[in-house]
């Protein structure tokens, strides 16, 4: 039995403070251009089109004291909270929105930079808890946070990057609940594991949560010595029952801390299609096997282990975890094979995790794809290359173990030289080489100069968007526009108060997908309130408003406003009104004079919507798949608001859970600090 993994190692406050200080310094050095505001993490694609826009909306909501549940500015109205990737209920996003500067793009950059620091600190604590030395834990955290595929993901999918930052915390929680000696300590770690799972999910991507759980699963044998023995189950059945209860507690804590997001996402996914590249999936959203195989990493991707480049798959995966990390990982494996380290079980766990991640990435090898696509939860990961985030995690731990092993070999070869001298020198050299590698590897791939031709000005100063904003502000009635995402930033409605009939998202509701068409002469576009149409081609029979080279802006004279009145003969017409109030989760229309009849709100069906006329509730009925209400008496104000029946009770449990967690953390932290000072 390996004694070193039978308990959770304590961490002194000075040691933790030193690690925090070093990572704060590294974050300043690696990201000095981000701090200076001359560079940004924003790049083309999902980065600027999705995450930067969504986080802008979340920051604006938290500053106004609201929850962003609905999105009026994209896809003619769509659930914002249900999408999940928008991360509207992520506590770290709330904190960032409140404390960072008001400039939205800079706030997003600092929010993402914060997650490098979170990943580094969580990885340091995890490695210290499982028995690595301080320098080894520091090296492992430096490699994972700044020198793996995780570090590059900030420029691809910031929400996935933010979720992966919590992977070490999830592993720490599960390791602790299995390895801790007392039941109270195990319960504390179960709560920690549940918190990590919830934060990973709330950050905006389910794939990060699945991968974090898988990584924790492969580390568990190190917390339970002898687990692989044939007689382990027979001799440890009582403990296994206790662990099963603790795992249930993890699930309960995670569910409480992400309850409204979990409910909203579950509801939304049942009602939606998800885009996976060539097409859409319907619930339960498992991509076709042939697409999964086509998305795998080819064998030539192994070269990325040395170059740090893309593995050759569509998702840009990489095996890289620095050359120094690769050398030290080899040292750890050789030392464990020679039975010269107490952490050989941990080496085995990390090696198996790395092999599993590689096999998932290479799922084109028959029959791996078929097996993985039929494993619950794991089959939700539609891009096999994303398993290499686990490879980087395992590689970083192996590198840390390798550093301790290298120090052991040197100590045995030169016993007369003090360990703090020679061992410290070896550790310092290894860390400096890794930092130098990362300094050349990370900034060019993740930080982009802000200039006239960069993506931020192309969004914030887009001339077509500015013209649409001016048209919207000049019109008392609310109208929408349609524009291909190549011509206008697709989620611009989350940045400016303009309403779009299109958007770039990983999903769309079945109702809207079935209703919407791309025909500028369609009556459906009239009923959705699409007045302005942007095209890269000349269109006949539509008045041209403006032109920018080969980009044309047309007006559709037949379009109704977003709210219009339906006559008994089936026709419709606009209603004189004041500019509406469009909030986070409601829109209020005020008529210039009392009106009555059937009012159609150009938004497709979705559960959780209610309406009131002059404060009196009105039932919503569907008219041609659009929401409508009828008032027989004249009214001056009509309000549509989104407040699903589950929202208030789920929010109460959610806030109560986070409040209890923060209070308990504060009490525990105070006690730990007092004990430390008394010991000093």
- Write down the pLDDT at residue 503: 87
* pLDDT tens-digit series, residues 596-621: 999 999 999 999 999 999 999 999 99
Lowest-pLDDT choice from 2-11, 388-397, 504-513: 2-11
* pLDDT tens-digit series, residues 619-666: 999 988 899 999 999 999 999 999 999 999 999 999 999 999 999 888
Contact call for residues 347 and 333 (beta carbons, < 8 A): yes
Query: Residue 532 half-sphere exposure, CB side, CA atoms within 13 Å?
Result: 26
Which range has highest mean pLDDT (30-34, 376-380, 567-571)?
Answer: 30-34
- What distance in Å separates the CA atoms of residue 401 and residue 327, rounded to the nearest whole number? 11
Strand partners, 39: 449
Q: Report long-range pairs for 361-364 (Cβ below 8 Å, ≥24 apart).
A: 361/296, 361/297, 361/301, 361/311, 361/313, 361/317, 361/385, 361/387, 361/388, 361/391, 362/296, 362/297, 362/299, 363/292, 363/293, 363/296, 364/293, 364/296, 364/298
- What distance in Å separates the CA atoms of residue 51 and residue 228, rounded to the nearest whole number? 43
- Write down the pLDDT at residue 454: 87
Output the average pLDDT for the chain: 90
- Write down the pLDDT at residue 224: 76
How many residues in the chain? 680
Neighbours of 618 (CB within 10 A): 19
Torsion of Cα atoms, 163 then 169 then 175 then 179, to 10°: -160
Confidence grade of residue 4 (pLDDT, cut at 50, 70, 90)? very low
* pLDDT tens-digit series, residues 148-162: 999 999 988 999 999
* pLDDT tens-digit series, residues 581-597: 999 999 999 999 999 99
Residue 37 falls in which region: left (phi positive, over 0), alpha (psi -120 to 50) or beta: left
Confidence grade of residue 236 (pLDDT, cut at 50, 70, 90)? low
- Write down the pLDDT at residue 398: 98
* pLDDT tens-digit series, residues 168-199: 999 999 999 988 888 888 899 999 999 999 99
How much is the average pLDDT of 118-144? 96
Where helices occur in 4-102 by DSSP H, the ranges are 13-30, 32-36, 46, 52-63, 91-99
Give the list of residues 6+ apart from residue 603 with CB closer than 8 angstroms, or none.
76, 77, 562, 609, 626, 627, 640
- What distance in Å separates the CA atoms of residue 266 and residue 79, rounded to the nearest whole number? 12
Task: Kindly tell me if the per-residue pLDDT of 230 is higher than 80.
Answer: no
- Write down the pLDDT at residue 235: 63
- What distance in Å separates the CA atoms of residue 9 and residue 155, rounded to the nearest whole number? 35
Burial call 98-108: b when 16+ CB within 10 Å, e when fewer: eebeeebbbbb
- Write down the pLDDT at residue 91: 97
* pLDDT tens-digit series, residues 429-444: 999 999 999 999 999 9
Confidence grade of residue 314 (pLDDT, cut at 50, 70, 90)? confident
Phi, psi of 482 (to 5 degrees): -125, 135
Phi, psi of 622 (to 5 degrees): -95, 135
Q: Kindly state the helix (H) or strand (E) to which residue 253 belongs, with its residue range.
A: helix 237-257
Which candidate, 94, 104, 102, places its Cα nearest to that of 199?
94
272-275 β-sheet, strand order: 280-281, 272-275, 507-509
pTM of the model: 0.93
- What distance in Å separates the CA atoms of residue 353 and residue 357, rounded to the nearest whole number? 6
**% of the chain exceeding 90 in pLDDT:** 71
* pLDDT tens-digit series, residues 482-515: 999 889 998 999 999 999 998 888 899 999 999 9
Confidence grade of residue 421 (pLDDT, cut at 50, 70, 90)? low
Burial call 428-441: b when 16+ CB within 10 Å, e when fewer: eebbebbbebbeeb
Torsion of Cα atoms, 416 then 420 then 421 then 426, to 10°: 110
- Write down the pLDDT at residue 478: 93
- What distance in Å separates the CA atoms of residue 250 and residue 234, rounded to the nearest whole number? 25
Could you identify the residue written with the tokens 């998202």?
Answer: 505
């Amino acid at each position: 039995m390996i004694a070193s993994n039978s308990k959770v190692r304590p961490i002194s406050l000075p040691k933790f403070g030193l690690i925090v200080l070093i990572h704060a310094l590294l974050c300043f050095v690696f990201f000095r251009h981000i701090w200076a505001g001359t560079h940004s993490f924003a790049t083309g694609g999902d980065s600027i089109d999705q995450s930067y826009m969504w986080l802008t909306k979340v920051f604006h909501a938290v500053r106004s004291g609201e929850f962003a549940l609905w999105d009026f500015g994209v896809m003619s109205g769509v659930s914002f909270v249900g999408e999940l990737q928008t991360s509207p209920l992520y506590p770290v996003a709330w904190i960032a929105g409140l404390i960072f500067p008001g400039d939205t793009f800079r706030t997003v950059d600092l929010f993402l930079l914060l997650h490098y620091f979170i990943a580094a600190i969580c990885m340091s604590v995890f490695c210290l808890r499982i028995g690595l030395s301080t320098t080894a834990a520091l090296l492992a955290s430096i490699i994972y946070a700044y020198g793996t595929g995780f570090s590059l993901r900030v420029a691809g999918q910031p929400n996935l990057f933010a979720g992966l930052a919590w992977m070490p915390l999830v592993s720490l929680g599960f390791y602790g609940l299995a390895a801790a000696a007392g039941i109270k300590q195990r319960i504390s770690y179960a709560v920690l594991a549940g918190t990590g799972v919830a934060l990973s999910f709330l950050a905006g991507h389910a794939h990060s949560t699945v991968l974090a759980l898988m990584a924790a699963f492969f580390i568990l044998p190190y917390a339970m010595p002898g687990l692989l023995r044939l007689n382990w189950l027979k001799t440890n059945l009582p403990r296994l029952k206790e662990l099963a209860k603790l795992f249930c507690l993890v699930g309960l804590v995670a569910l409480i801390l992400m309850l409204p997001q979990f409910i909203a996402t579950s509801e939304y996914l049942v009602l939606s299609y998800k885009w996976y590249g060539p097409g859409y999936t319907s619930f339960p959203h498992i991509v076709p096997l042939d697409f999964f195989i086509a998305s795998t990493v080819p064998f030539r991707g192994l070269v990325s282990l040395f170059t740090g480049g893309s593995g050759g798959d569509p998702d840009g995966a990489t095996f890289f975890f620095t050359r120094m990390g690769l050398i030290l990982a080899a040292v750890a494996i050789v030392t464990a094979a020679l039975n010269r380290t107490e952490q050989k079980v941990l080496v085995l766990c990390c090696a198996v995790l790395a092999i599993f991640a590689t096999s998932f990435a290479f799922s084109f090898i028959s029959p791996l794809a078929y097996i993985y696509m039929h494993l619950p939860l794991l089959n939700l990961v539609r891009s096999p290359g994303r398993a290499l985030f686990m490879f980087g995690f395992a590689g970083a731990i192996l590198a840390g173990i390798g550093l301790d092993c290298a120090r052991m070999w040197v100590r045995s070869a030169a016993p007369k030289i003090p360990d703090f001298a020679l061992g410290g020198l070896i550790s310092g050299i290894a860390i400096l080489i890794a930092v130098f590698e990362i300094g050349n590897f990370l900034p060019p791939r993740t930080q982009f100069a802000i200039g006239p031709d960069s993506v931020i000005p192309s969004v914030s100063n887009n001339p077509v968007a500015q013209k649409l904003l001016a048209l919207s502000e000049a019109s008392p009635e609310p109208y929408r526009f349609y524009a291909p995402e190549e011509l206008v930033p697709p989620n611009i409605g989350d940045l400016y108060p303009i309403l779009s009939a299109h958007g770039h998202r990983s999903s769309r509701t079945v109702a809207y997908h079935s209703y919407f068409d791309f025909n500028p002469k369609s009556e459906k576009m009239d009923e959705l309130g699409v007045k302005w149409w942007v095209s890269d081609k000349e269109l006949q029979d539509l008045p041209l408003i403006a032109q920018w080279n080969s980009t044309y802006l047309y007006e559709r004279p037949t379009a109704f406003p977003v709210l219009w009145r339906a006559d008994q003969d089936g026709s419709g017409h606009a209603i004189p009104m004041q500019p509406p109030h469009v909030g986070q989760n409601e829109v209020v229309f005020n008529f210039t004079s009392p009106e009555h009849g059937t009012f159609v709100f150009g938004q497709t069906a979705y559960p959780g919507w209610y309406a009131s006329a002059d404060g009196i509730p009105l039932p919503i009925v569907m008219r041609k798949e659009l929401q409508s209400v009828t008032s027989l008496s004249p009214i001056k104000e009509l309000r549509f608001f989104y407040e699903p029946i589950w929202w208030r009770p789920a929010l109460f449990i959610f806030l109560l859970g986070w409040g209890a967690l923060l209070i308990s953390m504060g009490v525990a932290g105070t006690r730990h600090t007092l004990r430390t000072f008394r010991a000093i």
